[in-house]
Amino acid sequence: MSIPGGGDNTTATLLAFLSPLERFHSAKQLVAYAGLNPRIRQSGQWAGKNPIAKTGNVLLRKDIYMTALTAKRYNPVITAFCDRLIVHESALCR
């Protein structure tokens, strides 16, 4: 709740879906549970984009997404981070 962009609803959702945290032995397991892990699409020499898998908990993923949008809007640290990602991505696409 101390992070700008997260509130009571986000806290309750995270606690409901992620407790007890002891069941996740690594960050990779937690990311996969939320369905935020990349889905590798590749065949031979062809390699497509790697979207998120979306196989995890849809309610948790939606709540994390909405919290990220709010944080991007109201948290200057997150806004600067997102701007750096956008600039970096556009430089890679050239």
Residue 53 lies inside a defined structural domain of this protein = yes
Residue 62 lies inside a defined structural domain of this protein = yes
| Distance (Å, whole) CA 23 – CA 56 | 15
Q: Which residue has the higher pLDDT, 49 or 71?
A: 71
Q: What is the pLDDT of residue 80?
A: 93
**Looking at the 3D structure of the chain, how many domains does it have?**
1
| Distance (Å, whole) CA 62 – CA 69 | 11
Backbone angle region of 87, left / alpha / beta, with phi > 0 → left and psi within -120 to 50 → alpha: alpha
Q: What is the DSSP letter of 39?
A: -
Residue 3 lies inside a defined structural domain of this protein = no
Helices (H) and strands (E) in the chain, counts: 4, 2
pTM (2 decimals)? 0.72
Q: What does DSSP say about strands 46-47 and 42-43: parallel, antiparallel, or unpaired?
A: antiparallel
Boundaries of domain holding 36: 8-93
Residue 2 lies inside a defined structural domain of this protein = no
pLDDT tens figures, 13-47: 888 888 888 888 998 998 888 888 888 777 777 77
Residue 1 lies inside a defined structural domain of this protein = no
